[in-house]
Amino acid sequence: MKFSVSLMLMLPLLALGRVPLSKPEEDGEIWAVLVAGTEEWDEYRHQADICHAYQILSANGVPDDHIVVMMFDNIADNIVNPFPGQIFNHPTGDDVYPGVPKDYNGHDVTKENLFKVLRGDAKGLEGIGSGKVINSGPNDRIFISMEGFGDNGIFFFPYEIMMANEFADVVLEMKENNRFKEMMVYMDSSCSATMFQDLYPDDIGFYALSAANADEVTYAAYCVDGPFFNCYGEQFAVSWMEDVDSKDPSTELLKENFEITKELTYLSEVTQWGQISVENENVAAFMGSKRSYVSPARNYSTEEHKASARPSQDVPLINLQNRLRAARTPEEKTHLSSEIRTLKNKRSMIKNVMERIVLKVSGDERLAHDLMTKKQEKITAWNCYGEAANAFHKNCYALGKNTAGTTIVSALLNMCEAGYKADDIVGATKNVCVFPTLQ
């Protein structure tokens, strides 16, 4: 009653424009961070997904100063793009590139810059990109979407790696500093379940979806032949976004979005993490209320996704093979055949190098074979694993630029979990990888 009376007394002043009508404190604001962790043309889909996510948030009324976009931004104007200046997330969809903020592009797409954005460290980002950060408070909600490659407990940036425990430390620090009421993360990378497993309390308002379980790769979607010869999206990403596109976010629950995403992402296991009760909130709580549609609603189906899906790490090879089949001149066929051989040789080399590293550390061929193939259910040796993975990335192969490497990094984890010392593993990478780091 007191509130009603107070409001009635304020109405004349409001009519004169003297007293602003503010939102209730508990409503808070929405902030978003959208990250594409790859830069190659063959990974077109990751930047396309991020652009689509931006269009959803923008159409739902989330202002640009509350959305931070991190992507290399070399796809729309790429010399091989058959649609210059445009990016698409579906073969018959709309251009999702218009208006996308150029916050952090090129070599500014880094783990450290992401952490500064999340911490609100504007001083640390002076002179870098747009300098935009998340200025969130205790009543705000933060939505994060990350697209790219990964392996057990790792998300790959173009030139560095981010360990799951590093990301968790930043999130927990943010919670301790009252920088969010709730946070939701959609992580689209291989083995992404290990980015959350056993790392977050279930009572801090943190909620996440992972695109794949601990030993699964993700799948690209809408992979087509010429003139594109590429994939428009990732199966997990296009599944959750196409559902949001076709629904009213003010009435759809996050639980419903999860269930539909899980059904459409049938080639990998989508899983929830953190405070599961957050699923009972509306999508609008993290993505805004629908004000305009990004594109006409479509009836998407598992069959449509299945027909065009490809294992994410195999997309570069599949694209080359498709281009070879469509080649018309002997010169073009010879060139593409050479590229295919080079890619296959690189993949064999990466595996061979890891086998040599494991053998050097273990000193036993049978044991080395087990360490190369064992599947870990959980990660506990974070410090050792982080040192080993960074050493392999620095001394041997830039993991964010070599998709085949994302399927063998688990051998480093196996050695750490088996009790081998990080110093020995790091030393083995330096001893075996005497060649320049393969980019």
Give the pLDDT confidence of 31-87 residue by residue, as tens digits.
Answer: 999 999 999 999 999 999 999 999 999 999 999 999 999 999 999 999 999 999 999
pLDDT surpasses 50 at 6 = no
Dist CA 114 CA 121 (whole Å): 10
What kind and span of H or E run contains 281? none
Q: How many domains does the chain have?
A: 2
pLDDT surpasses 70 at 329 = yes
Q: How far is CA 273 from the centre of its chain?
A: 16
Q: Are residues 96 and 125 located together in one domain of the fold?
A: yes
- Report the pLDDT averaged over residues 331-343: 93
Please state whether beta strands 219-224 and 230-234 pair in parallel, antiparallel, or not at all (unpaired). Answer: antiparallel
Give per-residue pLDDT as tens, 161-183.
999 999 999 999 999 999 999 99
Give the pLDDT confidence score for residue 26 in this predicted structure.
61
For residues 85-97, b (16+ Cβ closer than 10 Å) or e, as one string? eebbbbeebeebb
Q: Are residues 42 and 124 located together in one domain of the fold?
A: yes
Q: Are residues 222 and 91 located together in one domain of the fold?
A: yes
- Evaluate whether residue 316 is within a structural domain: no
Is the pTM above the cut of 0.95?
no
- Evaluate whether residue 5 is within a structural domain: no
Q: Are residues 238 and 176 located together in one domain of the fold?
A: yes
Q: Are residues 112 and 87 located together in one domain of the fold?
A: yes
Give the pLDDT confidence score for residue 298 in this predicted structure.
54
Q: Are residues 419 and 301 located together in one domain of the fold?
A: no
- Evaluate whether residue 320 is within a structural domain: no
Dist CA 181 CA 286 (whole Å): 11
CATH code for the domain in which residue 364 is found: 1.10.132.130
What is the average pLDDT value for the chain, to the nearest integer? Answer: 89
Q: Are residues 301 and 357 located together in one domain of the fold?
A: no
- Evaluate whether residue 3 is within a structural domain: no
Dist CA 321 CA 333 (whole Å): 10
Domain extent, residue 46, equals: 25-311
- Evaluate whether residue 18 is within a structural domain: no
- Evaluate whether residue 392 is within a structural domain: yes
pLDDT surpasses 60 at 25 = no
Q: Are residues 393 and 267 located together in one domain of the fold?
A: no
Give the pLDDT confidence score for residue 176 in this predicted structure.
97
CATH code for the domain in which residue 110 is found: 3.40.50.1460
- Report the pLDDT averaged over residues 247-255: 94
Residue 317 burial (CB count, 10 A): 19
Q: Are residues 360 and 272 located together in one domain of the fold?
A: no
